[in-house]
Chains A and B, each alone.
Chain A
Amino acid sequence: MQTLRNVFRRKTRALLTIFGITIGVLALVVTGSVAEKLQLLVDGGVEYYSDKVIVTDGSTFAGFGMSPISSEVLEDAEKVDGVARGSVTLNFLLEDDVQTISMGTPPMVEATDFRDVGYETFELALAEGRDLTAADSGKVTVGADLVSQLGAEVGRRVRIRAREFEVVGIYERTLTAPDSTVFMTLPDAQRLFLKTLPDAVAENLERKTLATSIVLFADDGVDPDELVEAVSDELGDSYNVQGPAGFKEFVQEPMQIFNYLIYTVALIALVVGGLSVINTMTISVSERTREIGIRKAIGANRLAILRQFVAEAAVIGLLGGLIGLGLGYLIVEATNRSGVMGATQLFLLTPRLAIGSVAFSLVLGILAGLWPSWHAARLDPVQALRYE
């Protein structure tokens, strides 16, 4: 209580200093929330790709293929020793031009031949309705982020690339790529996809074998990364073969650089806040020299003085942190809800980020307060008493 009173003895100055920390924590919370969301996306991807080998067209990059390949390669790939099962998948953009700049993955249409059933370990939980089966021609299931964009409701029809589909299921939010995906049967997807391609390209393609990637599952006890070379040899140079390690490398390095960038910016903001705490506490100590002299004269030892001033700095850090977290929460929530960044959630304020940023500002306050407080603790009481 007395600590709080001391901090607010100079209201404007205290508030400005707290505000400095608040801005730093706000920056940390908001940018950190973006990083956390992206991290989750990346982790989801890494997990999804951890047990499979993906074959795409040789012109594509690192398994993110949307150029057509023929599903006939499936047979060749399945011949490779150690490959248990292959499955054809087809992915394409839900809309030609991605309307909003999204930090996550763009809205996609996805289809498989259902040959992966029993091999695919990644499962999507349903919020409503049921899963898609091979017999569901003309029907779709919808990821959580696309529900409002498409106006999806179980039993209702939605328009996808100028064709009507009946919604049979809606998935729970996963905060990863499937949130912005519509799932349909392979023949339906092949028909739609063909129409998205330029006529000159489409003429040379066989609809029934149209695919964008082949997913390969390894035999029990076989490391999918070890299959990459064998599959590559079997299929030849015109295909890109990607294992879990390749995917990880592909996404994690940029993610790390992004993390460094984002946290560096936030940390700089916080360090500036910390410097203002040092400044405020130094002024406070020199203004209160006489008070320190009196306290020492009536029996306060160095530790007691040190503790008093460090506690004041800690309170400044803590209040700044809590207010910053509160404002950050409001901004993150408001932005996520308003949907200005597209249907996909941009921010994810995790508990570890919330606790971490407040703890960080508290520690920052304490560290910034140490030097001025130590200075206060070492004041000579007689000199301090003479000070006017």
Chain B
Amino acid sequence: MGLALQMEGVTRRYRLGADNYVDALRGVDLSVEAGDMVAIMGPSGSGKSTLMHIAGGLDTPDSGAVWLEGTRIDTLSDRRLTALRSRRIGFVFQGFNLLPALTALENTALAGQYGGMSRRQASRRATELLALLGLGERARHRPSELSGGEQQRVAIARALMNEPCLLMADEPTGNLDSATSAEIMTELERLNREHGMTLMLVTHDPGVAALCRRRVEMHDGSIVGDGGGGRVVSAEADA
């Protein structure tokens, strides 16, 4: 299998004032195989979110290079980067980040419309995805009328609208209780296993990390550990 993602010497400095800054990433090299499931771990402020944003083309590095499925993305124009991102990458955030004024269906369909689908196409696919994630009955509800787990599933449905090759989840279970968290992880794992979707997820939860095949450990803007997950990978999934 090829590489879904490749980063070389990526740095990112946030300027806070004239001579006050934070180095969120200090030369990160990272390659992710297509179809892999990677947990990014590390203490708060170690640069996990920054890494995800740059990997997913939401942010650009100060130096270094980023390739997505072999395409260099850090030098693309805003328009082309947005087009690529909306079609190849799905984001799931810790705070769900649903639009409160829109229904679950509209929230989901919106990503499809931005990705170039017609309104009807987007609506049809969103309905299918919500049903697939067990939210068929909840499609017309607004986020405020949904539980945390349901909201996160809407966010996953939305991330899947354009059939991305890479799904990035920044603490997808951070706001959920352990039972709901397990549900969401089952969903993500299934996507990885059944659809071969590459998965990168940031987590503080060792239990969640244990479900991943690979664990990347960050500290102070650098990768300090990289290894296999703590779980015995089943033979059938490997085949």
Contacts and interface: CB of A to CB of B under 8 A. Distances in A.
Interface of A: 2, 5-6, 9, 290-291, 293-304, 380-382, 385
Interface of B is mostly: helix
A295 B53 contact: no
Nearest to A294: B97
Contacts of B115: 299
Interface in B72-109: 78-79, 82-83, 85-87, 91, 93, 97-99, 101-102, 106
B214 interface: no
A299 B58 contact: no
Given A2-B106, A298-B158, A299-B114, 15 more contacts: A291-B99, A293-B97, A294-B98, A294-B99, A298-B111, A300-B82, A300-B114, A301-B79, A301-B114, A302-B79, A302-B82, A304-B114, A381-B59, A382-B58, A385-B93
Interface string B54-65: 000011000000
Contact of B58 (A9, A295, A297, A303): A297
A131 B47 CA distance: 95
A374 to B, nearest CB: 13
B151 interface: no
B127 interface: no
Contacts of A385: 93, 97
B91 A297 contact: yes
6 contacts: A299-B85, A300-B82, A300-B114, A301-B78, A301-B83, A382-B59
B46 to A, nearest CB: 16
A5 B101 contact: yes
B111 A299 contact: yes
- Identify which of A293, A298, A382 gathers the most chain B CB atoms within 10 Å of its CB: A298
Given A6-B101, A381-B58, A295 B83 contact: no
A297 B81 CA distance: 11
A85 to B, nearest CB: 73
A176 B162 CA distance: 66
A298 B79 contact: no
Contacts of A298: 86, 91, 110-111, 114, 158-159
A381 B60 CA distance: 11
B117 to A, nearest CB: 11
Contacts of A291: 99
- Identify which of A2, A299, A304 gathers the most chain B CB atoms within 10 Å of its CB: A299
Given A9-B101, A381-B58, A295 B78 contact: no
Can you list the 10 inter-chain pairs with the closest CB atoms, starting with the nearest? A299-B86, A299-B114, A301-B82, A298-B111, A382-B59, A294-B97, A300-B114, A382-B53, A381-B58, A299-B115
A296 B158 CA distance: 13
Contacts of A303: 79
Nearest to B85: A299
A327 B119 CA distance: 37
A231 B159 CA distance: 89
Contacts of A5: 101
Nearest to A301: B82
B74 to A, nearest CB: 14
A356 B136 CA distance: 49
Contacts of A6: 101
B59 A295 contact: no
Nearest to A290: B97
Contacts of B87: 299
Contacts of A293: 97
A382 B102 CA distance: 21
A25 B228 CA distance: 69
Contact of A295 (B79, B85, B114, B159): B114
A299 B82 contact: yes
B208 to A, nearest CB: 22
B166 to A, nearest CB: 14
Contacts of A290: 97
A304 B114 CA distance: 8
A302 B82 CA distance: 9
Contacts of B98: 294
A290 B83 CA distance: 20
Nearest to A383: B59
A138 to B, nearest CB: 76
A297 B97 contact: yes
Contacts of B91: 297-298
A293 B99 CA distance: 10
Nearest to A293: B97
B174 to A, nearest CB: 14
A298 to B, nearest CB: 4
A188 B162 CA distance: 90
Contacts of A296: 58, 82
A380 B81 CA distance: 13
Contacts of A382: 53, 58-59
A317 to B, nearest CB: 22
- Identify which of B78, B106, B158 gathers the most chain A CB atoms within 10 Å of its CB: B78
B55 to A, nearest CB: 12
Nearest to A6: B101
